[in-house]
Structure 1
Amino acid sequence: MRILRKYVVFDAPDIDAEASFWAAVLVGTVDNVENYDPGTWRDVLVDGEVVVAVQHAPDHRVPVWPPEGDQEQGQQMHYDLSVARDDVGAAVAEVRDLGAKPLRMAPDPDVRHGFHVFADPAGHPFCICWG
């Protein structure tokens, strides 16, 4: 098998808001892909390469976090963004400014290894990790 591209695709009811969020977080750009019906898909490119995409999902249901037992809509996947330990505060401020909602903040941000959990505009969990 020869894989030509690999990336995560987020489902979202508002693909422009979701794609803009991830483009800002990943310091990339949004491409309105012409091969798809208008309003159904966006690619997020970093240095000219697709790193994530967003697919229109009008019936998207926000995942439940933290995942518990057999919840009908528990977390299905999440994205980890690793940053340098001394950049954690700036990363947290940046994703919050872009519209991320905190779900779980590490009780001690000064530990050597840790993570904070956020939800993106469509409710997908992601982590800012360090260490």
Structure 2
Amino acid sequence: MTTRLVSVIIDAAELEPESEFWHQLLGGSLTRTPTHHFLQVEGLPVVVIQLAPGHVQPGWPGGVSQQMHVDLATDDLMAADRRALRAGGRRLQPLDDVDPAGPAGSRVYASPAGHPFCLRST
């Protein structure tokens, strides 16, 4: 038996800001329906942003659990930081929390719907 990951579903009270954020961050193509936006990026599972009108943002790290967590690898942490912020993300830790030139550098952010994710140096 083989099991493989085919999609990641992200709840959001508002589809457009969340799907545009992931689209700007990851690229690919975005298909919209009234209740789901499907982001297809070559080499990745489909990222599905699902309308969840009652969605409450996680308060992680100091409150409600993070509900999900995505790690993204990058060869340029500073450029990825700028892209994430321009796309509507926000830092959950200060900018100087890691050495961006270090081999294991990582920064923690949140998407517009409040879902935490990390950008990690490769």
Instruction: Identify the TM-score tier after normalising by the shorter chain.
Output: 0.7 to 0.9
Letter paired with 1:81: L
Gaps of 5+ in 2: none
- Residues 13-33 of structure 1: CA distance to partner in whole angstroms, max 9, x if unpaired? 111211111111111121024
User: Could you say which structure has the larger radius of gyration?
Assistant: 1
Pairwise CA distance, 1:112: 2.2
User: Paired residues, what number?
Assistant: 120
TM-score (norm 1): 0.80
- Equivalent residue for 1:51? 46
- Residues 32-52 of structure 1: CA distance to partner in whole angstroms, max 9, x if unpaired? 24xxxxx21110012497520
- Equivalent residue for 2:82? 93
Q: How does 1:2-41 map to 2 (within 5 A)?
A: 6-33=6-33, 39-41=34-36
Which of 85, 91, 94 is matched with 1:102 structurally? 91
Provide closer, same or farther for how the CA distance between residues 49 and 100 of structure 1 changes in structure 2, counting only shifts above 3 A: closer
TM-score (norm 2): 0.85
- Residues 54-92 of structure 1: CA distance to partner in whole angstroms, max 9, x if unpaired? 1001111111221x5xx5x311221110011xx111000
Q: Structure 1: how far apart are the matches of 2:4 and 2:118?
A: 27
Provide closer, same or farther for how the CA distance between residues 29 and 113 of structure 1 changes in structure 2, counting only shifts above 3 A: same
Pairwise CA distance, 1:7: 1.5
Letter paired with 2:83: E
Identity of aligned residues (%): 37
Letter paired with 1:42: H
Q: Secondary structure at the match of 2:113?
A: coil
Question: Is the CA contact 1:44–1:51 (under 8 Å) kept in the aligned structure 2?
Answer: yes
Gaps of 5+ in 1: 34-38
Question: Is the CA contact 1:63–1:74 (under 8 Å) kept in the aligned structure 2?
Answer: yes
